[in-house]
């Protein structure tokens, strides 16, 4: 069983497939770039948007660009 099969809710969020970037106030002078959301997961810090390979940001800290 793969990750998508074990946690389907992480792949069904409305942000899945959207192009996003970290809000400028959060990025703090470092360009975090843009990426397409493939996974959104719950955590003790709130709902997180993953940014491969290892970053994750709170849903509130990203903005949709498309």
> pLDDT per residue over 28-49, tens digit each?
756 678 999 999 999 999 999 9
Report how far residue 4's alpha carbon sits from residue 25's, in angstroms, rounded to the nearest whole number: 32
Closest CA to 59 of 8, 6, 7, 14: 14
Query: What share of the chain has pLDDT > 90, as a percent?
Result: 71
Buried b (16+ CB within 10 A) or exposed e, 13-25: bebeebebbbeee
Q: Does pTM surpass 0.75?
A: yes
């Amino acid at each position: 069983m793969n990750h998508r099969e074990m946690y389907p809710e992480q792949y069904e969020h409305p942000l899945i497939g959207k192009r996003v970037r970290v809000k400028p106030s959060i990025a703090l002078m470092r360009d975090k770039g843009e990426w397409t959301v493939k996974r959104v997961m719950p955590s003790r810090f709130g709902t997180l948007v993953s940014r491969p390979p290892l970053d994750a940001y709170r849903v509130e800290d990203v903005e949709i660009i498309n």
